[in-house]
Amino acid sequence: MSKLLVLVLFVVYSEACYWNAPCTYQLFGSKTPYDTVRGDIRDYATPPNCEAVSIWTLNRHGNRNPGDSVTRGMKEVSLLRDEIVQSWDMGTSKLCAQDIEDFRNFKWNDTMDVATSYLTGTGYDELYGIGQRLREKYPHLLSGPADKFYFRPTNEQRTITSCVAFIHGLSDGTNLNVTMEQARQRDDVLRPYENCDRYQHEVKDGYALAYQLETYFNSPKYVAIQNAVQNRLGIETQLNASMVFSLYEMCRFYRTWSPDYRSPWCAAFTEEELPFIEYYEDIRHYYRNGYGSWVNENLGRLAMKDLYDSFMAFLEGSGRKISGHFTHDTMMEMVWCALGLYKEDAPLQATTMDPHRAWRSSYIGAFSSNIIAVLNSCDEVSSQPANQYYRVQIFINERETPLCPLEGCTMEEFQDKFKFFTDANLDFCSLSYEQNEHDPSTNNAPSVNAFWRYRP
């Protein structure tokens, strides 16, 4: 074999290794870091002759530790570390030397054992950053009495601490003195699905979700990935479908906590395999939180009713300057359904992955994902005297959306799109409740659904 051929083979082999990848895969479903998908609200102009007077936000909590069941699975596969290293020494591993060295240096994060689902330092920084950018964009709003500001989390440590981080970023270096509302045991705006029997029985514990997930894990594609991971690691322990996914959990959680967004556990997968594993969460969230059930869209309307009522109250003289709400990916995705966003032409299926799909949890359900609505007061300078009017801008993950153009919806356009939500309620949650074509809980979409094919 010529020296040139040996060199070519070495380069090809090396570039296939995780450590040598010049640009590692960045999308990891609902565990995608916010910085991977966000824009920057400071880069968008306020409409001409306008000034922001009220902001309403709905935010998912930031990066967190995994929950109990995920942590147990991760801890089980973490015990494979020594066997993975030994497989390299025995010559059965397909990993690179540097990847193996990183495995040797790997240490279990003990905080996962005692702080299940808690917000991490990375998550705090994500929410602090959002608050900071709003402070820099709208400094004129950061004054006035405490009752002009409202901050409301759900009753979980990760949302409460996210709220604290947001307020910290918003008020840092100012004289703003605000408090957040004490978390409620029952919150029909930020967590209505917890109190909806129809959702709990027909959606979360329903047949459609269970069938799609079972189909996914038994699909030829997933089985092929499972076999490839087994071969790549070169270990004797036989991996099952659950263990392979726990390896993925190790990859995506640990990489979000690393300064360079890398984890040796990601070496178990190739760049071609990761998108299909990512697709698991799109399927899961589509049927649990999304368009897989009409129930989800109706649950999302409660938060949009709060947005509409907030801006209407401001116009009537009793509104707030800033209202911040802190919830979970379940609620965020239900809101996208209520707004008719990210909807597919046909329902997502476990074995058919469209690489160009609109419903993609990495973009729409990442850590700290959000919707920010800005009410602007404007002057019609061409008239004498100048006439006052309002324009509404709406951003998702600090990016422009077609819900309202960058120049803003007129108040009439905003009302036309959002007044629909004033009828939102939880009557449909009763298992004895029957829909009819005139019922507001049916799948009648508001006019905003003209943008249903919007992609991030």
Residues designated catalytic: 61, 329
Strand pairing category for 322-327 and 149-153: parallel
Q: Using omega within 30 degrees of 0 as the cis cutoff, is the peptide bond preceding 385 cis? A: yes
Classified as helix, coil or strand, 170 is helix
Residue 340 sits at the vertex; the CA angle it makes with 392 and 431, to the nearest 5 degrees, is: 120
For 102, what's the count of Cα atoms within 13 Å in the CB-facing half-sphere?
20
Place of tokens 């380069």: 11
Measured distance CA(166)–CA(171) in Å, rounded? 9
Measured distance CA(148)–CA(314) in Å, rounded? 10
Residues 321/445/334/222 CA torsion (nearest 10 deg): -140
Query: Is the torsion defined by CA of 111, 117, 120, 122 positive or negative?
Result: positive
For 218-293, where are the alpha helices, taking DSSP H only?
220-233, 241-256, 274-288
What is the distance between the terminal CA atoms of the chain, rounded to a whole angstrom? 49
Measured distance CA(120)–CA(102) in Å, rounded? 22
